[in-house]
């Protein structure tokens, strides 16, 4: 009796773990998935979402948490509002980047498009929102986890590699971004 229960439980757990496992996508399937995402983005080039961010730094015991809202319009315009203890507003029109810190009553302005490290940072931020031409900048792998998709983007260029080790995009079956994870080289 005990052995049959143990066997049944073992088989059940094995089946359950197989169902929950990520199923890797073939390179052709990843390309097709990117095509479907681009079609959706072309039909609705504007995206907005609430976000929660958790930054883990080696020198701090606890992660720094922030939340806010982000808006994006293809190909490269975005607005990011961060609420909380360190509020900020970041806006870009694709050529200029402005960052406003209301708490300190200060603002910064940067020119984009000069192959600076800042350009690499903006490319990393917009990767999950604008997947146009992403194959030239990132090595991309994908997997299917149940009814969800996961794309792993690993930078190809040295300037991006200094800023970003891996960018993971979690999407639902409707190809809407549910979560992103950015792993930087310094952890």
Contact 64, 82 (CB under 8 A): no
- Token pair listed for 78: 């975005």
Q: Return the beta strands (E) in 31-176 as ranges.
A: 46-55, 64-73, 77-83, 88-92, 96-101, 106-111, 138-145, 148-155, 166-171
Per-domain residue ranges of the chain: 22-183
Give the pLDDT confidence of 50-71 residue by residue, as tens digits. Answer: 888 777 777 777 888 888 998 8
- At residue 182, the pLDDT reads 81
Strand order in the sheet with 64-73: 46-55, 64-73, 77-83, 88-92, 96-101, 106-111
| Portion of the chain with pLDDT greater than 90, in percent | 34
**pLDDT by 10-residue block (mean), the chain, 187 residues:** 48 47 90 91 83 77 85 86 92 92 94 79 68 84 94 87 86 88 76
pTM of the model: 0.74
- Token pair listed for 35: 């095509």
Question: Which CATH class for the 22-183 domain?
Answer: mainly beta
């Amino acid at each position: 009796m005990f052995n049959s229960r143990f066997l049944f439980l073992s088989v059940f757990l094995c089946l359950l773990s197989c169902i929950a496992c990520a199923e890797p996508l073939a390179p052709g399937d990843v390309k097709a998935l990117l095509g479907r995402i681009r079609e959706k983005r072309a039909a609705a080039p504007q995206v907005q979402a609430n976000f929660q961010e958790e930054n883990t730094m080696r020198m701090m015991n606890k992660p720094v948490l922030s939340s806010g809202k982000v808006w994006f319009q293809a190909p490269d315009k975005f607005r990011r509002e961060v609420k909380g203890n360190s509020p900020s507003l970041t806006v870009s029109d694709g050529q200029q980047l402005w960052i406003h810190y209301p708490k300190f009553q200060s603002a910064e302005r940067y020119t984009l498009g000069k192959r600076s490290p800042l350009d690499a940072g903006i490319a990393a931020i917009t990767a999950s929102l604008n997947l146009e031409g992403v194959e030239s900048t990132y090595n991309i792998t994908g997997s299917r986890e149940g009814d969800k998709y996961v794309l792993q983007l690993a930078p190809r260029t040295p300037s991006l590699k200094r800023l970003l080790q891996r960018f993971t995009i979690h999407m639902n079956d409707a190809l809407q971004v549910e979560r992103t994870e950015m792993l930087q080289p310094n952890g």
